[in-house]
Amino acid sequence: MEKQVTLKIDGRSVTVPEGTLIVDAAKQLGIVIPVFCYHPKLKPAGMCRVCLVDVGRPQLDRASGAPVLNEDGTPKIVFGPKLETACTTPVSEGMVVWGATEKVMEARKEVLEFLLTSHPLDCPVCDKGGECPLQNLTMKFGPAESRFEFDEKSHNQKRVPLGELIILDRERCIHCGRCVRFQEQIVDDPVIGFYNRGRALEIRTYSDPGFDSIFSGNTTDICPVGALTTADFRFGARPWEMKDKASICTQCPVGCNITYNVRREARKDGRTVIKRVMPRQNEAVNEIWICDKGRFTYHYYESPERLTAPLIRRGDELVQTSWDEAIRYAAQQVKAAGSRLAMVTSGRLSNEDLFALKQLADVTGGKAILHGTISGGEAVSLAGMSPGSDLGTLAQGSTILVFACDLHEEAPIWWLRVKQAAERGATLIVVNPRTTRLDKFATHRLSYAYGNELDMLQTLQADTGDIGQAVKEAENLVFIFGSEGMGLSASAAVAEQLALWLERSGRRGKPSSGLIAVWQKGNEQGAWEIGYTTDERLAETISAAMGVYICAADPASEDPELKIALQRAGFMIVQDLFLTETAKLADVVLPAQAVMEREGTAVSGERRLQYYSPAVPAPAGTRPDYAIIRAIAEEAGIQLKGENTADLFEQLTDSVEVFKGITLKEVRAVREQKPALGRSHMYYGGTSYENREGLGVTLPLRAGALRSSAEHYQPQALTLESGSLLAVPITRLYDRGGTVATSGMLQQRIVRSLFSLHPADAELFQVKAGERISLRLDSREIEGEVDINIGQPQGVVLVTRSMGALLSAPVVVKLTVPQRSAVNS
Amino acid sequence: MLRGLITTFKSLFEKPVTIQYPEQRRPVFERYRGRHELKRYDNGLEKCIGCALCAAACPSDAIFVEAAENTDDERYSPGERYASTYEINMLRCIYCGFCEDACPTEAIVLEKIYEMSYSDRHSAIFTKDMLLVKVPDGGQPTPQKTEPGLYTRSVPEMKDPTD
C-alpha cells in the first residue's frame, strides 16, 4: 500500500496517500481551495496562482533530523515567507496548511483582481455565464471593484475560429492552459498551443484544418471561462434555461454517458430542441470525456430528411399512406411468409426493440439476423468483460492486446482509456497490418499481412518471449479485436481464438479481464446477448426467404450482392429514420424514432447495460421501433410480451439468462465517483455533469463452452496477380454512414479520400494524392479519391467503409486511373 | 330627509373627481411602471443584447428570449449577441420592474403605457417588433451594415448611473 501522510488543513487533520496535492487533500475535508488552471485529470501547472495557501512544515534539527519541539512539546512549525500554490505542492508529514487566513484571502482577492484586468466582463453575453468558475470565484473571493481602469484593459480579438467546430474568444481567456494541456497530455493531439508570453500570451491552432482533433469539444467543457465555445451552441441559450436529459451515445460501442441540454425554442415553432451535448461523468466508461462525433452528430434528429409518415409502394413509387394501412399491409405479408420471413436488424436499436423482434422471430419461426461488418459476439458473451470491470483500473502488471482495429477511429474513448492504461504501466500489444495512433504507446508492435489474422494469432499464442510472458503473467488480461480487413467469418474466428486463449490463461470471468469487440454500432453486443447472430450468407438467406423485415439496417448501401438479393425479395418491410438505399427498395417504409426521442437500454462493448431517457419529443407520425413491431405482430394475430419499454425490459430480464435479476432501478443507480468534479462543485462548475441517472450494470458472463473456429472457418486464399491489389475495408470515424452526413456539423471533417495506397504502389501506378482512381472488382467498378499513406502495407488499397464503396470483405481488384485513360484514349 | 338632500345639493357644486377618459387623461406618476419598451441607441441599433437576464430575473416567467450572433453585415446591436426572439406575456407580467433592474444595457424600460386589452391569450404576447421603439431621427433601422471593429462592446460603459 502507498505510504500515508497526515497533515492539518485549517486545523483539521487528514490522512492521504503520499504524493497527493494540497488541493485534493483539502477537497476530501470539504475545504474549498479555489483553482482555475488545476484539473484533477490534468497534470498541475501552477499558472493562475489563485490556489495560494499558507504552508508550514515541521522544523527538523539539522544535526539529528529529529523534529524541533516547542516549549509545550508540540513540533515547531515553520511557515515560508511567501504563500505556496496548493495545486502543485504535494503533502508532507506534519504539514500545516492555512487556507482561509487574512493573508491568503487577500492574495486570492488580488489574484482575481489581476485576472480580471484583462477579462472583458461580458458575462451577460457569455455562454459560460451562469456556470462559470471565474464568475463563481469572483463572487465568493474577489474584490467588489477593480482598481484598474476599464480603458486600460487589454482588448483582444473576440471571435477567433479555431477550425469550424471550436471558436476562441481571446479576450476571455485567462491563460490557464487547461485546453493546451488536455490536447497534449490526455489525447496526444498537441494541435493548439501558446504563442507569445506575458500579457500577449495567446492560444493558437497549429494544424490544418484548424484544431484538428477528434476530442476538441472537450476543451470547451474544461475551459474555466467562456473562451472556448462550440460553433453550434454559441449564443444558443443561457445555462440556467436548459433542462438536463441523461442519455447514452450510441455512435460506437463505448456507450459514453452524455447529458442532452434541451429547451423550447420559438424559432422552432415552440418545439423542445437539443441545444448541446455534455459528457456525464462515468469513471468506468468515459470519465468526463466524449469525442466530437458524439458531441456534434446529434443534429441528425432535426434533419429535414427524416421520415415522418409511412410509405407504401404503388408501382415504381413510394407514396405516403396512413399508419393503419401500412401496418395492415405489413402484417398480411408477415402472416403469409410465416417461417419464411427473414428479419434483419442492427445494433442501432435498443434491447427492448431487439427483444420484441426476437419474440416475433421465435413465434413465426423466421430468422432473426444481426447485420454488421463484424461478428464474434457469442465469444464475447462467453468470455467478455464481467461485473466489476473497469478499463480505468488497468495498470502496471496488466496486459492489453489490441488486434485488427484502429481504436482512434473506431472507438475514440477506448483509444483514450487504453492509452492511459499503457501510460500507467500496463503492457500494450498492438497487432495490426498498418500503423495506427495507438502504436506510439504500445510496448510491443506487431504486423501481419491482411488475410493472415489466424496465423498471426497462432504465432502470438506460441510466443515464449516477452509477449507470451506478458500474457501469461498478466494480472488482468484484455483482448480488444476489430474487423479491420476482415469479413464476418474471419472476425468470428478471431473472436473464438482470442476467447479460447483467454480461457487457457485462466482469465475468463475475471473482473477487468476479457474480450472486447469493436462493434460498428452502439448496441451490437446487446443483440448478441439477446440471441441474434450474424449471417455470412445473408444474400442467400434473403433470396431463399419469402420476405424481408429490416429494422434500422441499411444492407443495400453496404454490399452490392445484398442489394441485388433485396431487389429480388418477395416483399420488404423497412423501418428506419431516413429513406436509405434499402428503404428505397422497400414495399412498406415505417418511420421510426431516434435514440434521443425515446427511452431504452443498450449494452456497450464492455457489456455494460445502460439506460437512456427521452430528451425531446418525437416528430409527429413516427413511432418507436418496438411499437411498430408490436403493431405488425398484433395485426398478424401474434401477441408479443411487453407493452412498453419498461414492460419489455422486465420480460427481457425474465427470459434471457444473462439479464436475469437485473432491474432498471439497479441500472439507474448512482454512486459517488472520484474525483468529484461535477457542476455543483464551485470551481469545476460547468465542466461536466454529475451522474444522477445511473452508472449502468455490467452483465454476468454467459455460461457455456467456447467454440473452436477450426470447425467452421476456412480462410479464403486470395492470390494476387501482377497489377492487381488487395482491397481491404477499414473503418474511419467521420464517414458518410448513418448519422454523420445528415447531422451537418462534421461535414468538413468527413474523410475525403475513399482509398489509400502505399507510396510505392502509388509510384507503380503513377497516382498522386488527391487523384481519382477506379477499382475493378469482378463485375463492377468503384471510383474515388486516393490518399497516400506510408503506414500501410504494400500491395493493398484501403477502402473506407460507409462511403458508398460497397465492400464487406477483402477482395482482389485491378486499379485504373480513369482521367488518364480517358486522355490516353 | 332634508339634511340628506342638502348633502346631495352641495355635492352638485363640487369639482368632480372623475375625468372624461379617453378625451382627458391624468398624468401618471414619474415612477409609474407600465408596458415595456425595448430602447435603441441614437444610431438606431438595439440596446438589447439578448442576454436573457430579464427572463432570469422575472418572477412570473413572462419573458422569453432567444439570442443569435451579430455580424458586421447584419448588425442588430453592438457586440456579438442580439435577441432574435423577444417576447413578453403581458398577462403574466406583474409590472415589478425586475427586468429593468437586471438589464445590463438599460434596453428594457417599463414605460407609461397602460392601455392594453386582449381578446385572447395569444394576443397578450408582445413580440420584439411590438416592444421595440421607433428608430430615432438620424438613425438607421436594424439590421444595419456596419464598419468592422466599430461595435465590439456588448455592454456599454455606464457613466455615473443616476437611478
- Identify the residue whose cell numbers are 467452421: A712
Q: Once rounded to an integer, what is the mean pLDDT over residues A351-368?
A: 94
- What residues contact A560, with CB distance under 8 A and at least 6 apart? A780, A806
CA A438 to chain centre: 16
Cell (9 digits) for A391: 478499463
Spell out where A604-696 has E strands. 608-612
Give the tens place of pLDDT for each residue, B48-65.
999 999 999 999 999 999
By the 8 A CB rule, do A599 and A260 touch? no
Within 8 A of B49 by CB-CB distance, chain A residues are: 124-125
Where is pLDDT greater, at A801 or B59?
Answer: B59
CA–CA separation, B95 and A801 (whole Å):
61
Say which of B49, B69, B85 has its CB closest to residue A124. B49
| Region of A612 on the Ramachandran plot (φ > 0 left; ψ -120 to 50 alpha; else beta) | beta
* pLDDT at B14 > cutoff 90: no
Confidence at residue A711, expressed as pLDDT on a 0 to 100 scale: 63
A20 and A68 together in one domain:
yes
- At A640 the pLDDT is 92
Query: Mutating which of B54, B81, B89, B103 best tests the A interface, going by the most A Cβ atoms within 10 A?
Result: B81
From residue A49, alpha-carbon distances to A33, A34, A175, A681 in Å are 11, 10, 11, 19
Instruction: Report helix, strand or coil for A377.
Output: helix
* CATH number of the domain within which A11 lies: 3.10.20.740
Per residue, the 3-state secondary structure of A518-545, as one string, reads: CCCCCCHHHHHHHCCEECCCHHHHHHHC
Mind telling me how many Å the CA of B118 is from chain A's nearest CA? 21
Least confident among A318-322, A520-524, A812-816, B120-124: A812-816
Considering only CB atoms, A125 lies closest to which of B55, B56, B79, namely B79
pLDDT over threshold 70, residue B159 = no
Does residue A822 register a pLDDT over 60?
no
Residues A595 and A536 in one domain: yes
Residue A571 maps to a domain: yes
Grid cell, residue A650, equals 422486465
Are A494 and A541 found together in one domain? no
Chain B CB contacts of A266 under 8 Å are 64, 66, 85, 87
**Residue A351: φ, ψ to 5°:** -55, -35
Q: Which residue in the set B55, B80, B157 is minimally distant from A150, CB to CB?
A: B157
B55–A124 C-beta distance less than 8 A? no
Cβ neighbors of B49 (< 8 A, separation 6 or more) are A124, A125, B67, B77, B78, B79, B81, B82, B83, B104, B105, B107, B154, B155
The answer to whether A384 touches A701, Cβ cutoff 8 Å, is yes
Lowest mean pLDDT among A29-38, A430-439, B153-162: B153-162
Same domain membership, residue A509 and residue A564: no
Does one domain contain both A417 and A318?
no
Distance CA A173, CA A171 (A): 6
Residue where one domain finishes, among candidates A73, A100, A127: A100
Q: How many CA atoms lie within 13 A of A65 on its CB side?
A: 0
Contacts of B81 in chain A (CB under 8 A): 125, 235
Mutate to test the interface with A, among B69, B71, B86, B151 (most CBs of A within 10 A): B69
When the pLDDT of each residue in chain A is averaged and rounded to a whole number, the result is: 90
**Residue A717 CB neighbour total at 10 angstroms:** 6
Same domain for A541 and A670?
yes
pLDDT band, very low/low/confident/very high, at A67 (cuts 50, 70, 90)? confident
The answer on A536 and A671 residing in a single domain is yes
Half-sphere exposure of A141 (CA within 13 A, CB side): 31
In a domain, A106, yes or no: no
Other C-beta atoms lying within 10 Å of the C-beta of residue A220? 26
Is A687's pLDDT higher than 90? no
Q: Are A376 and A182 in contact (CB under 8 A)?
A: no
- How far apart are the CA of B96 and the nearest CA of chain A, in angstroms? 21
pLDDT of B163 above 50 = no
A786 pLDDT higher than 80: yes
Weakest-pLDDT range from A277-291, B107-121, B145-159: B145-159
pTM to 2 decimal places: 0.93
Q: What is the pLDDT of residue A690?
A: 83
Q: Which helix (H) or strand (E) holds A459?
A: helix A453-462
pLDDT band at A753 (very low <50, low <70, confident <90, very high): confident
Shared-domain flag, residues A753 and A804: yes
Question: Would you call B104 and A267 a contact, using CB atoms and an 8 Å cutoff?
Answer: no
Q: What is the mean pLDDT of residues A190-203?
A: 91
Mean pLDDT of A418-427: 95
Residues 6+ apart with CB under 8 A from A455: A448
Would the pLDDT of A782 be above 90?
no
Mean pLDDT of A229-238: 93
Domain assignment of residue A296, yes or no: no
How many CA atoms does the CB half-sphere of A515 hold within 13 Å?
33
- CB nearest to A235's CB, from B81, B104, B105: B81
* HSE of A685, CA atoms in CB hemisphere, 13 A: 18
Length of chain A: 825
Grid cell 460507409 in the structure block, residue? A802
- The dihedrals phi and psi of A753, each to the nearest 5 degrees, come to -95, 130
> Out of A112-121, A185-194, A351-360, which region has the weakest mean confidence (pLDDT)?
A112-121
* Residue pair A345/A594 in contact by the 8 Å Cβ criterion: no
CA-to-CA distance for B160 and B155, rounded, in angstroms? 15
- Residue A742 three-state SS: helix
Q: Give mean pLDDT, residues A75-80.
A: 90
**pLDDT score at A293:** 93
Q: Which residue's entry shows cell 438479393?
A: A565
CATH code of B27-131, in short, is 3.30.70.3270
Domain holding A786, by residue range, is 724-824
Three cell numbers, residue B9: 345639493
The reply to whether A94 and A16 lie within a common domain is: yes
Retrieve residue A378's grid coordinates: 457469442
Residues A177 and A88 in one domain: no
Strands A444-446 and A427-431: parallel
CB A243 within 8 A of CB A207: no
Dmax over Cα atoms in chain A, in whole Å? Answer: 103
Mean pLDDT of A331-357: 94
Nearest by CB to residue A158, choosing from B64, B80, B105, is B80
Q: What is the band of A754 on the pLDDT scale with cuts at 50, 70, 90?
A: confident
Cis peptide bond upstream of A209, omega within 30: yes
DSSP H/E element including A812: strand A811-816
- Note the pLDDT of residue A440: 94
| Binary contact (B51, A236; C-beta < 8 A) | no
Whether B161 has a pLDDT exceeding 60, the answer reads no
> What is the model's pLDDT at position A824?
46
- CB neighbour class for A272 (10 Å; exposed up to 12, middle 13-18, buried from 19): middle
Does any domain span residue A594? Answer: yes
Residue with cell 444481426: A370
Instruction: Specify the length of chain B in residues.
Output: 163
Q: How many domains does chain A have?
A: 5
Question: Does the structure show a pLDDT above 70 at A495?
Answer: yes
C-beta atoms surrounding A664 within 10 Å: 18
Domain ranges in chain B?
A: 27-131
Residue of A235, A263, A264, A268 best to disrupt the B interface, most CBs of B under 10 A: A235
Going A330 to A334 to A336 to A337, the CA torsion angle's sign is: positive
For A13-22, A362-371, A514-523, A773-782, which range has the lowest pLDDT when averaged over its residues?
A773-782
- Residue A154: pLDDT band (50, 70, 90) is confident
Among chain B, residues having any CB pair with chain A shorter than 8 Å are 49-53, 55-56, 64, 66-69, 79-81, 84-85, 87, 104-105, 152-155, 157
Residue carrying the nine cell digits 477487468: A512
Q: What percent of chain A has pLDDT above 90?
A: 65
pLDDT digits (tens, 9 = 90+) for B107-139: 999 999 999 999 999 999 999 999 999 999 999
Q: What is the 3-state secondary structure (H, E, C) of A166-215?
A: EEECCCCCCCCCHHHHHHHHHCCCCCEEEECCHHHCEEEECCCCCCCCCC
Which position has the grid cell 439507474? A668
Q: Is residue A89 part of a domain?
A: yes
Our CA-based measurement puts residue A382 at a distance from the nearest CA of chain B, in whole angstroms, of 52
Question: Are A553 and A672 found together in one domain?
Answer: yes
Check whether residue A363 and residue A421 sit in a common domain. no
**Residue B162 to chain A, least CA–CA distance (Å):** 18
- Grid cell digits, residue A466: 516477452
From A230, A264, A279, the end of a domain falls on A230
Check residue A820 and give its pLDDT.
65
Q: What is the pLDDT of residue A125?
A: 92
Q: Write phi, then psi, for A157 (nearest 5 degrees).
A: -65, 135
Which helix or strand (DSSP H or E) is residue A489 part of? helix A488-504
A4: Cα separation from own chain's centroid = 36
CB contact under 8 A, B155 and A124: yes
Mutate to test the interface with A, among B46, B47, B49, B51 (most CBs of A within 10 A): B51
Determine the average pLDDT of the residues in A256-269. 92
Q: Please indicate, yes or no, if residue A429 is contained in any of the structural domains.
A: yes
User: At residue A418, does pLDDT exceed 80?
Assistant: yes
User: In B, which residues are within 8 Å of A150 by CB distance?
Assistant: 157
- Concatenated DSSP letters of A313-353: EETTEEEE--HHHHHHHHHHHHHHHGGGEEEEE-TTS-HHH
pLDDT per position as a tens digit, B63-96: 999 999 999 999 999 999 999 999 999 999 999 9
- Select the residue from A121, A125, A128 to test the B interface by mutation, using most B Cβ atoms within 10 A: A125
| Chain A residues within 8 A of B55 when measuring between CB atoms | 241
- Alpha carbon distance A630, A653 (integer Å): 18
What SS3 state is found at A135? helix
Do A515 and A389 form a contact (C-beta atoms < 8 A)? no
Cα separations (Å) of A62 from A65, A67, A80, A390? 6, 9, 17, 47
Please answer whether residues A622 and A592 qualify as being in contact, where contact means their C-beta atoms are separated by less than 8 angstroms: yes
pLDDT of residue A783: 85
Q: Average per-residue pLDDT in chain B?
A: 91
What does the alpha-carbon distance between residue A288 and residue A269 come to, in Å, rounded to a whole number?
Answer: 33
Instruction: Evaluate the omega torsion of the peptide bond into residue B141 and state whether it is cis, within 30 degrees of 0.
Output: no
Residues A67/A71/A74/A80 CA torsion (nearest 10 deg): -60
Residue A211: CATH number of its domain: 3.30.70.20
Would the pLDDT of A284 be above 70? yes
Within-domain flag for A744: yes
Q: Residue A743's domain is classified under what CATH number?
A: 2.40.40.20
| Contact assessment for residue B144 and residue B75, using Cβ atoms and an 8 Å cutoff | yes
Question: What are the φ and ψ backbone dihedral angles of A335, each rounded to 5 degrees?
Answer: -65, -45
Question: Looking at beta carbons, which residues of chain A come within 8 Å of B157?
Answer: 150
Which residue matches cell numbers 469525442?
Answer: A291
